[in-house]
Amino acid sequence: MKRHRLLLLAAMLVFSVEASAQNFLKNPGFETWNGGLPGGWKTDTVSSKSSTVSHSGAYSIRLNHSNIMGIPFMGTLNQDSILVSGTSFSLKGWYQFYPQGGDGFLIGIFVHGHPASLLGTLVGAGSKDFYDAKSVYTAFSVGVEMMPGSAGDTASITIYTLPDTASDEFHPGSYVLFDDLVLDNTLTDVKTANEFVTPASFSLSQNYPNPFNPTTQIEFAVPKRSNVTLKVYNSMGQEVRTLVDREFQVGRYRAIFNGAGLASGIYFYKMVAGDFVQSNKMMLVK
């Protein structure tokens, strides 16, 4: 069991995200079921079943430890050969979790694609463990760390239950509900449970790299739940791109600006969050 988790973590590369969005998953809301199995997903009728306790729509999926002839097994849920397009990815969705003992679950994402000399190889991966009980639907986000200069063609999602970290044993009765999953190439939360201290204030960092051609990353911090806009303007003050316009939870975030199709020159990016307003300058050089 621990070996499987280490293999997932060992696949980590280098993180980036971008601001276009498309859900690449089949049956992301688990509304379609065939013979007791969710359409588009690989699982079994022992460790998973449909649930009417949904975040939206009529159904969600319930995933639990399976027990076959008294022998406990991981509950697993997979979607393979997902056609994707982009240079950064994240999986988001909603879940409830009812663990027994110290049980948990893990979400893993693998992206295959084409860096210049490695056609079809693994170019990105991400994973995250969950152990805290959630009795109401709670949003999650798992980012994918991508190899620099790579692009994704296909992806796979793996979700499985985890045993107690202390005893390495499963406890009967543990289960998790999932609904409204989204695998896309949009902005994602880059913080993890123990990796970042809660930001003390709003901030907008200098883009990197700068100068850039044609993409650069822009990081910002949100100390409290807020609506955030992040827009790019040319030297004449004309808006050329909206990178962000939505509500964010507390955390540190990163967006990608792609200047393909724009002329070389000076551009400005401006963040607005409540009373916080900040603009920085960047240079596109082709």
Between 273 and 208, the more confident residue is 273
Same domain for 261 and 207, yes or no, is yes
Q: Give the three-state DSSP class for 160.
A: strand
Task: Decide if 192 is inside a domain.
Answer: no
Between 97 and 214, the more confident residue is 97
Task: Decide if 198 is inside a domain.
Answer: no
Q: Which CATH number fits the domain that encloses residue 259? A: 2.60.40.1930
The size of the chain, in residues, is: 286
Same domain for 29 and 62, yes or no, is yes
Distance between CA 11 and CA 153 in Å, rounded? 17
End of a domain among 186, 212, 247? 186
Same domain for 223 and 164, yes or no, is no
Task: Decide if 84 is inside a domain.
Answer: yes
Tally of domains within the chain: 2
Count the helices and strands in the chain (H runs, E runs). Answer: 1, 22
* Structural domain boundaries, residue 242: 203-284
Mean pLDDT of 212-236: 88
pLDDT of residue 197: 54
Percent of the chain with pLDDT over 70: 86
Distance between CA 204 and CA 272 in Å, rounded? 10
Distance between CA 67 and CA 44 in Å, rounded? 12
pLDDT of residue 120: 59
Q: Is residue 5's pLDDT more than 60?
A: no
Same domain for 268 and 239, yes or no, is yes
Task: Decide if 171 is inside a domain.
Answer: yes
Sign, CA dihedral 17-19-20-24, equals positive
| Confidence label for 80 from pLDDT (cuts 50, 70 and 90) | very high
Between 215 and 34, the more confident residue is 34
pTM of the predicted protein model? 0.60
Same domain for 178 and 57, yes or no, is yes
Mean pLDDT of 36-56: 94
Mean confidence (pLDDT) of the chain? 83
pLDDT of residue 228: 92
Q: Is residue 187's pLDDT more than 60?
A: no
Sign, CA dihedral 152-188-217-12, equals negative
Same domain for 179 and 248, yes or no, is no
| Confidence label for 3 from pLDDT (cuts 50, 70 and 90) | very low
CA 117 to chain centre: 27
pLDDT of residue 61: 97
Same domain for 60 and 178, yes or no, is yes
Task: Decide if 194 is inside a domain.
Answer: no
Same domain for 37 and 153, yes or no, is yes
Q: Is residue 250's pLDDT more than 50?
A: yes
End of a domain among 130, 157, 186? 186
Q: Which CATH number fits the domain that encloses residue 156? A: 2.60.120.260
pLDDT of residue 13: 29
Same domain for 171 and 211, yes or no, is no
| Confidence label for 57 from pLDDT (cuts 50, 70 and 90) | very high
| Confidence label for 188 from pLDDT (cuts 50, 70 and 90) | very low
For residue 58, the one-letter residue type is A
Task: Decide if 209 is inside a domain.
Answer: yes
pLDDT of residue 186: 63
| Confidence label for 245 from pLDDT (cuts 50, 70 and 90) | confident
Between 7 and 173, the more confident residue is 173
Same domain for 153 and 256, yes or no, is no
Distance between CA 212 and CA 98 in Å, rounded? 47
Task: Decide if 9 is inside a domain.
Answer: yes
Task: Decide if 232 is inside a domain.
Answer: yes
Q: Give the three-state DSSP class for 6.
A: helix
Distance between CA 126 and CA 157 in Å, rounded? 10
Same domain for 26 and 156, yes or no, is yes
Same domain for 182 and 212, yes or no, is no
pLDDT of residue 75: 87
pLDDT of residue 115: 65
Tens-digit pLDDT profile for residues 141-170: 888 888 877 788 899 999 999 888 888 888
